[in-house]
Amino acid sequence: MRCAQFRTALSARLDGEPTGLPEARLDKHLARCGGCRAWLERAEGLRARTGAQAADGPGPEWTAGLLARLSDEPAEEGREK
């Protein structure tokens, strides 16, 4: 499984949504993958910085801006270890 799939699951976890993966598997990958740990730290930081703006419910412009900022992050593709 590629890191992108784990990062999608981590994003879902941050949003309080089902991850689509067993939590133990997600946690195990996170413990072993420095790239995904760094990605999660950046996502948590971004969420903290933008949380106040999203309190009224994110609109299309907010979502587009968030996705643009996330796409600026360096992509690290790897395989589960």
Looking at residue 45, its amino acid is G
- pLDDT tens across 46-70, in order? 888 776 455 555 666 767 777 777 7
Report pLDDT digits (tens) over 9-22: 998 898 888 999 99
The pTM of the whole model exceeds 0.75: no
Helices (H) and strands (E) in the chain, counts: 4, 0
Per-residue b/e over 25-35, b at no fewer than 16 CB within 10 Å? Answer: ebeebbeebee
CB-CB contact of 14 with 47 (8 Å): yes
